[in-house]
């Protein structure tokens, strides 16, 4: 049976930049096994499969697969899937804009999408802060996993908004670029940790700063990710929580994927009320680069 797909580059305004995403706008008839096989065949960081919602008040149900496993939430698949559905007029827009609600493993996810000619922008809004556990990763362990000296690591912590990450604040952009994943050290220190996913970044932690980042997720079959929206959400949520500001919006821009030759730009912000993070936003542009059909054997 043939199933249509669309390929999009997410968190970029330029084709062949950003993070690759394959979207199956109508995944009805595909088994779990077939979805995982298709995600492995594309071998992009994620592939999404769009289905009718369980709740008619929602727009679609979206399942997200890496090459190795299904995940309950991810950033660039939401941004890109919303853009694909709007671009192909598979959802209703008014004056080029729409608010979509996707059913996912973490629950309903709200995505605002705007179509302006060929320009596609989307923004996820999460009505919560980031979860930050009391346990912290070891700075020497993080340095070893990244093949960096210990003094290159300024701070470390875990956080999540649905997909967990280990955040590693690095002293310089140059050190971020020099990082190489040491699989043996990663296996020893992080493979069974609260999060095995390493998000390293340099730049100021005060709101308004521009950050420079990379992300390694070998447990999910992703050696390096060009843009990680779920990590950006957890990062700004945790940074905003650390901020002394009691009210207002704390925003950062994150450059990622530069070292891979797939530069990405993520806009991320957190809203605070009475000293507490109540809302997180992550967004960016999407470029549609191709479409086609995949044949799946009967009964697969």
Could you give the residue ranges of the DSSP H alpha helices within the chain?
32-42, 75-87, 139-145, 173-178, 183-189, 229-242
Do 229 and 199 contact (CB within 8 A), yes or no?
A: no
Could you count the other beta carbons within 10 Å of the beta carbon of residue 92?
Answer: 9
Do 120 and 129 contact (CB within 8 A), yes or no?
A: no
Do 221 and 69 contact (CB within 8 A), yes or no?
A: yes
What six digits make up the tokens of 114?
């705007």
- The dihedral built from the CA positions of residue 172, 227, 75 and 284, taken in this order, carries a sign that is positive
Distances in Å between the Cα of 282 and the Cα atoms of 27, 124, 241 are: 26, 5, 16
**How far is 138 from 212, CA to CA, in rounded Å?**
21
| Residue 226, Cβ density class (10 Å: 0-12 exposed, 13-18 middle, ≥19 buried) | buried
Q: Catalytic residue among 13, 46, 127, 131, which?
A: 46
Does 46 participate in catalysis according to the annotation? yes
- Bridge partners (DSSP) listed for residue 100: 111
Contacts 24+ apart (CB under 8 A), 169-172: 169/200, 169/201, 169/202, 169/205, 170/200, 170/201, 170/202, 171/202, 172/202
DSSP code for 29 = T
DSSP code for 164 = E
Which amino acids are annotated catalytic? 46
């Amino acid at each position: 049976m043939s199933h249509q797909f669309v390929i999009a580059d997410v968190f970029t305004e330029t084709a062949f930049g950003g993070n690759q995403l394959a979207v199956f706008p109508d995944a009805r008839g595909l088994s779990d096994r077939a979805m995982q096989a298709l995600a492995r065949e594309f071998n992009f960081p994620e592939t999404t499969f769009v289905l009718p919602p369980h709740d008619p008040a929602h727009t679609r149900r979206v399942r997200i697969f890496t090459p190795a496993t299904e995940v309950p939430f991810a950033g660039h698949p939401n941004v890109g899937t919303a853009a694909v559905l709007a671009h192909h007029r598979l959802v209703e827009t008014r004056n080029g804009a729409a608010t979509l609600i996707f059913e996912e493993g973490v629950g309903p996810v709200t995505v605002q999408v705007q179509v302006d000619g060929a320009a596609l922008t989307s923004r996820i809004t999460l009505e919560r802060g980031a979860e930050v556990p009391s346990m912290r990763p070891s700075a020497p362990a993080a340095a070893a996993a990244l093949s960096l000296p210990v003094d290159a690591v300024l701070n470390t912590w875990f956080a999540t908004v649905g997909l967990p990450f280990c955040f590693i604040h690095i002293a310089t952009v140059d050190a971020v670029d020099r990082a190489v994943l040491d699989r043996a050290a990663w296996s020893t220190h992080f493979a069974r940790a609260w999060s095995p996913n390493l998000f390293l970044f340099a730049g100021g932690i005060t709101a308004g700063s521009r950050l420079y980042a990379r992300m390694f997720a070998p447990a999910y079959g992703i050696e390096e990710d060009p843009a990680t929206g779920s990590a950006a959400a957890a990062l700004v949520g945790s940074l905003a929580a650390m901020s002394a500001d009691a009210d207002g919006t704390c925003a950062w821009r994150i450059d990622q994927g530069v070292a891979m030759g797939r530069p990405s730009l993520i806009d991320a912000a957190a809203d605070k009320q009475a000293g507490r993070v109540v809302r997180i936003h992550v967004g960016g542009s999407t470029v549609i680069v191709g479409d086609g059909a995949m044949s799946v054997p009967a009964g697969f």
